[in-house]
Amino acid sequence: MVMVRNENGTVTMGPLDAMFILQHAETRRFHVCLMEECSMPGPVPDVADTKVVRLKSKMHHTTGSDSFEGALEQLKELRHKVEIHDSNVLLDRPIGWDGAIGFVLVLPNWRVASDSTIGDGTIGGVLPRQEAHTETMASP
């Protein structure tokens, strides 16, 4: 999907883009992360017909925070600049991260059920790290 820049200085994200907090496995620091949907090759189906969502890291807060609460405040600040669907934002827990830049995360589509969010454990909730598929993207 493509981020749309608005006249008021905000950016509108796509229907399956996501925002959450990563926790670095080694440093234990917390980093706000913005992920952009990176559709599988071929025709792009409607959101309701998308079974899995491939997300590519678009940006993360470089220095991060010592605490989850500090990162949560950074996430709230970013939300003032980024228009993103509420169900695409994970607020209750971090996702483990090995520090790779340009990584891809593949998750079941959390938007299939209208009342689900990316992390609520319902259809397509964020999988535990060992069950989620991640791969490091090569730099262009």
Supply the pLDDT for residue 99. 87
Supply the pLDDT for residue 137. 33
Nearest of 115, 14, 6 to residue 56 by alpha carbon: 14
Whether residue 33 contacts residue 57, with contact meaning beta carbons closer than 8 Å, is answered with yes
What range defines the domain where residue 114 resides?
4-136
Cα–Cα distance between 45 and 50 in angstroms, integer? Answer: 6
- What lies within 8 Å, CB to CB, of 66 at 6+ separation is 29, 30
Q: Note the pLDDT tens digit of each residue in 49-102.
A: 888 888 998 888 889 999 999 999 999 999 999 999 888 998 888 988 888 888
| Domain count for the chain | 1
Cα–Cα distance between 57 and 46 in angstroms, integer? Answer: 22
Supply the pLDDT for residue 130. 31
**Residues making up the chain, counted from first to last:** 140
Whether 122 shows a pLDDT value over 90: the answer reads: no
For the entire predicted model, the pTM comes to 0.76
